[in-house]
Chains A and B, each alone.
Chain A
Amino acid sequence: MADTTPILRIEHMTKRYGAKEVLKDASLSINRGELKVLIGPSGGGKSTLLQCINFLIKPDRGRIWLDGEEIVRAKGKALYDYRQKVGMIFQDFNLFDHLTALHNVEIGLLRVKGLSRNEARNRAVLELDRVGLTEYMHQYPAELSGGQKQRVSIARALAMDPEIMLLDEPTSALDPELISEVLDVIRTLRSNGMTMIMSTHHIGFASEVADELVFLEDGSIVEVGPPEKVLYRADYARTREFCSKITELYGNSSS
């Protein structure tokens, strides 16, 4: 399913806050249709890496290529255009509180992509249908469950036609029984060929769907490899230690 042209490539990404280097020389490349899962302890740099990829955090150093083209001037219109191609899902959903589910999906189409009201409406309805929320489209975020909010945020990102999606612990803020509805949506995205980089602690889910696991600790990419290797035959002791702990905790909650 996955072809072998890197759709996104980052090299030597570095970010420092004062004396603390939160991201150290991280390099990563992902092919079209692949799903890479970032794992590692909290504070290890997973969120920073994801947010550096779409410049929500401005990296101190590093280069990014999307579809073979380097992003050189990350500001103004070039930046806004680039961000449309890189969808992002947050741990806390970050829906716009003053808008219904439908308007949350519509607003980017109207105000960023400049679609007409009709086009935007049709597309938003379609995307909400895809994540199974047709009957909730007129509800406000305050009236939705966590799982529903996260599915709206996925619909909102997909409506922009991104080339790649970044998912930053999309299930970490959810009640246990709501996790599976979000993971199901991600699984469907995966089988439809969406390229994704996702950080999660759901190691069971990760090993089921990921092409590769990326282990990050202290801001460094320690190890990259297929799930069965990273989980059971990792090269580094620290990776093995982390994976065995997390498998114990989350390994069986994949469905």
Chain B
Amino acid sequence: MRELFFFQPDIVSALASGLWVSVQLIIPSALLGIIIGVTVGALRVYGNPLVKTIANGYVLVFRGFPLVVQLFIWYFGLPYIGIYLPAFVAAVIGFSLCSGAYQSEYVRGAFLSVKTGQTLAARALGFSQIKMILFVTLPQAFRRALPGCGNEIIYLIKYSSLAYMITCIELTGEGKIIASDSFRYTETFMVIGAIYLVLTSLAAWLLRRLEDRLHLPGFEQYG
């Protein structure tokens, strides 16, 4: 019977609902993280000194605070100033802002790798700064940042497991409940770990396909 434990209907449905919550946390956080990362990365490269300082400050703080501490602040801290966020919302905000800070670093590096001559050429043609970023440097920077950004998304999939710490019961949270109810800690967390492994493998495969799709001559990738 031991082997069949994870096929019991109530266990399966608990894991499934946990997985569903995890997916709902991961997808918006990954997308928002990318949007924040691209925006902040661009500001850190092309902004005026004041904007750069603010953007650098954001990265310093959100990369510097432990993520679980950030989540505690969003969920347990904000009520002290009268802001009550649902656990799910607090988790998505925490993940997005943390992920965005890391993403901005990959994006910043990628912007800097676009040859400056191309920005001169764009300006000489009459491009405004914003058009130059949107149509000349960002399409190139995005391609170059993609491997790093994908790496960050894989991290995000795993650190989404911190959401249960602020009562948002996702996959790891469900696992913890199952484990403490059944005392089958090893098996439960092996199964949970395997599900994360499937998620990260799936993400890696999708990101690889995206890289292949966006590939252009002159933007060679190896391996």
Contact = CB atoms under 8 A, between A and B. Distances in A.
Interface of A: 51, 54, 56, 80-81, 83-84, 86-88, 90, 92-98, 107-108, 111-112, 139-143, 153, 156-157, 160
Given A94-B115, A94-B117, A95-B121, A140 B218 contact: yes
A165 to B, nearest CB: 11
Interface in B126-145: 126-128, 131, 135-136, 139-140, 143
A86 B219 CA distance: 31
B124 interface: yes
In the complex, the 6 A-B pairs of residues with the closest C-beta atoms, listed nearest first:
A142-B218, A94-B121, A94-B117, A84-B126, A88-B124, A140-B217
A54 B115 CA distance: 20
Contact of B126 (A83, A139, A140, A141): A83
Interface residues of B, number: 23
Contacts of A86: 124
Given A84-B125, A96-B122, A108-B126, 18 more contacts: A80-B127, A84-B126, A87-B124, A90-B120, A94-B121, A96-B140, A107-B136, A108-B125, A111-B127, A111-B135, A112-B125, A112-B127, A140-B216, A142-B218, A143-B217, A153-B121, A156-B125, A160-B125
Contact of A112 (B115, B121, B131, B218): B131
A140 to B, nearest CB: 4
B126 A56 contact: no
A139 B123 CA distance: 23
B217 A142 contact: yes
Residues of A contacting B: mostly: mixed
Contacts of B143: 98
A93 B125 CA distance: 13
B135 A81 contact: no
B160 to A, nearest CB: 33
B167 interface: no
B126 A80 contact: yes
Contacts of B218: 97-98, 140-143
23 contacts: A51-B120, A80-B127, A83-B123, A88-B121, A90-B120, A92-B115, A94-B118, A95-B118, A96-B122, A96-B136, A97-B114, A97-B115, A97-B218, A98-B139, A98-B140, A98-B218, A107-B135, A108-B125, A108-B126, A111-B131, A112-B126, A112-B127, A143-B218
Contacts of A112: 125-127, 131
Residues of B contacting A: mostly: helix
B36 to A, nearest CB: 23
A81 B124 CA distance: 10
Contacts of B118: 94-97
Interface in B68-126: 114-115, 117-118, 120-126
Interface string B192-220: 00000000000000000000000011110
B125 A157 contact: yes
Contacts of A80: 126-128
Contact of A98 (B121, B126, B219): B219
A83 B131 CA distance: 15
Contacts of B126: 80-81, 83-84, 108, 112, 160
A9 to B, nearest CB: 20
A107 B120 CA distance: 15
A19 to B, nearest CB: 23
Contacts of A92: 115, 117
A81 B125 CA distance: 9
Contacts of B121: 88, 90, 94-96, 153, 156
Nearest to A159: B125
